[in-house]
Amino acid sequence: MPKHALRRVMTATAAAVGTLALGLTDATAHAAPATLDYVALGDSYSAGSGVLPVDLTNLLCLRSTANYPHVIAAATGAHLKDVTCGAAQTSDFTESQYPGVAPQLDALDAGTDLVTLTIGGNDNNTFINAITACGTAGVLSGGKGSPCEDKHGTSFDDEIETNTYPALKAALSAVRAEAPGARVAALGYPWITPATADPSCFAKLPVAAGDVPYLRAIQAHLNDAVRRAAEETGATYVDFSAVSDGHDACADRGTRWIEPLLFGTSLVPVHPNALGERRMAEHTMSVLGLS
């Protein structure tokens, strides 16, 4: 081959190689970020208990595949390990909740990038005891007065401060120890009751008028305990106090995020419905800056 022809071939080859190299460099520079290794921990508010469809891999935990962790994972492309479980307490982070159900912290490791959770509402049976006690008292009083507060006073608040708050700190510290590089988001609980009594709600949430703000104050105290524990352990607190206002169990269907005790549409009352789980996901992503 003549030298000038060979030079043309070499020049063309070099140009092609250069173009390919530039293309690879450009592709590398614009490559998608690494997939988030996401672990979801927590109780029934995280599990989406009562929301269809049910995760058939573990029926004991009554976990939904439409819970907020699944919504977040779908929106972000994260690789999700969901070990949320209905009725979970902080102790179930380090102990087996049911036979065959591993402690939730077993799902974490040094490669975990993101952790979300709601936890604390079942410690001391705060939610179930408060709702049951105030619902029963409300029925017996015909919705008048504040019989639940009159009987129980500060007992629920005392348990939150004495038992739940330190347990939350210990649980979040344990999360940090197992996943030291992860971003941890501790979610508050969306409002269950309105700020003041709604007479039209009594049939759905039979709590006496004076006990509606009493229950709301107990929930506010619990959420504040979650907030303080999160801040003191380096986690991000996701506050729902503003965005969930007006979406409580007394709101109309299609507006409410939480289903009422009676005449609701969920299999599990006083828990988030599908809309609530989606809104919890959206607000969490907003707070964390996830797209």
| Domain chopping of the chain, boundaries | 1-31, 36-288
79 is catalytic: no
- Which among 70, 221, 247, 271 is annotated as catalytic? 271
44 is catalytic: yes
Q: Using CA atoms, how far apart are residues 276 and 285, in angstroms rounded to an integer?
A: 14
Q: Using CA atoms, how far apart are residues 63 and 65, in angstroms rounded to an integer?
A: 7
Q: What kind and span of H or E run contains 117?
A: strand 114-117
Q: For Cα atoms 229, 234, 238, give the angle at the middle one, nearest 5 degrees.
A: 65
Residue by residue, pLDDT tens for the chain (291 residues) are 433 333 343 334 333 333 333 343 333 334 445 899 999 999 999 999 999 999 999 999 999 999 999 999 999 999 999 999 999 999 999 999 999 999 999 999 999 999 999 999 999 999 999 999 999 999 999 999 999 999 999 999 999 999 999 999 999 999 999 999 999 999 999 999 999 999 999 999 999 999 999 999 999 999 999 999 999 999 999 999 999 999 999 999 999 999 999 999 998 999 999 999 999 999 999 999 997
Q: What is the pLDDT of residue 267?
A: 87
CATH tag, 36-288? 3.40.50.1110
Q: What is the pLDDT of residue 33?
A: 56
For residue 133, which of 215, 203, 193 has the smallest C-alpha distance?
215
pTM over 0.85: yes
Q: Using CA atoms, how far apart are residues 121 and 116, in angstroms rounded to an integer?
A: 15
Token match 């709601």: residue?
A: 118
For residue 205, which of 147, 126, 130, 131 has the smallest C-alpha distance?
131
Encoded amino acid at 287, one letter: V
Q: What is the pLDDT of residue 73?
A: 98
- Which among 44, 64, 146, 266 is annotated as catalytic? 44
39: left (phi over 0), alpha (psi -120 to 50) or beta: beta
